[in-house]
Amino acid sequence: MKTIDELLRQGVEGKRVFVRADLNVPQEGTTITDDGRIRAVLPTVKALTEAGAKVVVASHLGRPKGAPDPAFTLRFAAARLGELLGRPVSFAGDTIGSEAHAAVEGLADGQVAVLENLRFNAGETSKDDAERAEFAARLAALADVYVGDGFGAVHRGHASVYDLPRLLPAYAGYLIATEVGVLRKLTDDVKRPYVVVLGGAKVSDKLGVIDHLLDKADRILIGGGMAYTFLKAKGHEVGISLLQEDQVPACLEYLARAEAKGVEFVLPVDVLVSAEFPDLKTKAPANPTLVAADAIPADQEGLDIGPETRKLYASKLADAATVFWNGPMGVFEHPDYAEGTKAVAQALVDSPAFTVVGGGDSAAAVRTLGFDENAFGHISTGGGASLEYLEGKTLPGLAALED
């Protein structure tokens, strides 16, 4: 994989460099609530502008259905990028139309333009190879060189991620190079004990990574909504907790495999429950009840791990040499159910281990709960991409950069 440093050594002054970033940031109206992914691409964009490139930044945001949708405009992300760069950033109101061409043609050396949401075009996500290729060719007309730096999208075989880098000289940006380097530390020559903490809503989202890591991890700690399917597999009542009944057989299989391989598989011993899901807008007190994990009332829903589980998980992380964490332990957006996620984050901060926060809600939780990002070894920008890499899958966006 060729990197941006090689490109910079060749010289980029006056060249149009297409940077496929990941500006898919959470927004409430016009307000960006977490700009972590924008900040993550800054080193690449800064290096290119300082070297005199004409930088064309493109990204997706949300899941518009192949047509313009004002709710998913990148206009506000472009403005935030300009603020963080400390220089004006122009914005094109389309991706391959007259505004995009005008914005790119108007760039002087060292200037930046952001194109409108790539997914406003059906060709970006099309499963039809010809339609995707046609869109990629029109994007290629805007640039001389391609730099892939949207790690959060490299597991997608989309036009700007997979097809476009095959049409232009292609290089990996600083973010992708860093992310891949970190993930290799979780798969090759891992320092032990290696502890994996998995949470989040659906166990089905994590089955692949559990399957792969059963051959690599020393301990796997389970929390969040996915824990209740494992508890159900062990024969426990889970009430109205989030449950994927069809995944119970898979959970039983993984529990048996873990025991056979000597992998410590740890489930919650106590949980906070309620008959109602908390109001995340008003943050009104939820008044949860603490119960043993094997004694959840039939009319109650588990919403966070309890204090004994927090202590247990902290003890299981204390001697780790490598930790990968993906997925919150509960509904961390509400203060009454944030303590479990906070406890795991604090255990990682306190640990001397190489700690990796696997993007998505975990990264959002770290910021929401007020932790110093520098206290962790690495905070990934791509939850889904990180998981698929750890599953051993080929990621289209990385494969295209390696061709």
Task: Name the active-site residue from 46, 202, 257, 311.
Answer: 202
Task: Name the active-site residue from 306, 360, 382, 397.
Answer: 360
Shared domain for 105 and 127, answered yes or no, is yes
Confirm whether residue 117 is marked as ligand binding: no
- Does residue 386 sit within a domain? no
Tell me the whole-structure pTM to 2 decimals: 0.88
Shared domain for 170 and 241, answered yes or no, is no
Q: Strand 354-357 and strand 264-266: pairing?
A: unpaired
- Does residue 217 sit within a domain? yes
- Does residue 233 sit within a domain? yes
Shared domain for 155 and 16, answered yes or no, is yes
- Does residue 350 sit within a domain? yes
Shared domain for 363 and 233, answered yes or no, is yes
Dist CA 157 CA 163 (whole Å): 8
Question: Residue 97's CB: how many other CB atoms inside 10 A?
Answer: 14
Average pLDDT over residues 288-293: 98
Report yes or no: 326 and 183 within 8 Å, Cβ to Cβ: no
Question: Please, which pLDDT band fits residue 34 given cuts at 50, 70 and 90?
Answer: confident
- Convert the pLDDT of each residue in 371-387 to its tens digit: 999 999 999 888 889 88
Task: Name the active-site residue from 37, 54, 216, 219.
Answer: 37
Task: Please state the domain count of the chain.
Answer: 2
Shared domain for 243 and 303, answered yes or no, is yes
Confirm whether residue 24 is marked as ligand binding: yes
Confirm whether residue 156 is marked as ligand binding: yes
Domain range spanning residue 77?
4-175+396-402
Share of the chain above pLDDT 70, in %: 100
Report yes or no: 345 and 369 within 8 Å, Cβ to Cβ: yes
Shared domain for 131 and 263, answered yes or no, is no
- Please confirm, yes or no, whether 202 is among the known catalytic residues: yes
Shared domain for 259 and 290, answered yes or no, is yes
Dist CA 326 CA 163 (whole Å): 29
Report yes or no: 255 and 233 within 8 Å, Cβ to Cβ: yes
The tokens describing 359, both together, are: 């993007």
SS3 of 333-396: the string is CCHHHCHHHHHHHHHHHHCCCEEEECCHHHHHHHHHCCCCHHHCCEECCCHHHHHHHHCCCCCH
Confirm whether residue 39 is marked as ligand binding: no
Shared domain for 162 and 223, answered yes or no, is no
- Does residue 43 sit within a domain? yes
- Does residue 391 sit within a domain? no
- Convert the pLDDT of each residue in 183-206 to its tens digit: 999 988 899 999 999 998 888 888
- Does residue 390 sit within a domain? no
Dist CA 159 CA 242 (whole Å): 35
Shared domain for 103 and 214, answered yes or no, is no
Asked if the bond preceding 68 is cis, omega within 30° of 0, the reply is: no
Dist CA 132 CA 211 (whole Å): 33
Model pLDDT, residue 162 = 98
Cα angle 103, 154, 159; round to 5? 50
- Convert the pLDDT of each residue in 45-100 to its tens digit: 999 999 999 999 999 999 999 999 999 999 999 999 999 999 999 999 999 999 99
Residue 303, helix vs strand vs coil: strand
Shared domain for 78 and 226, answered yes or no, is no
CATH number at residue 42: 3.40.50.1260
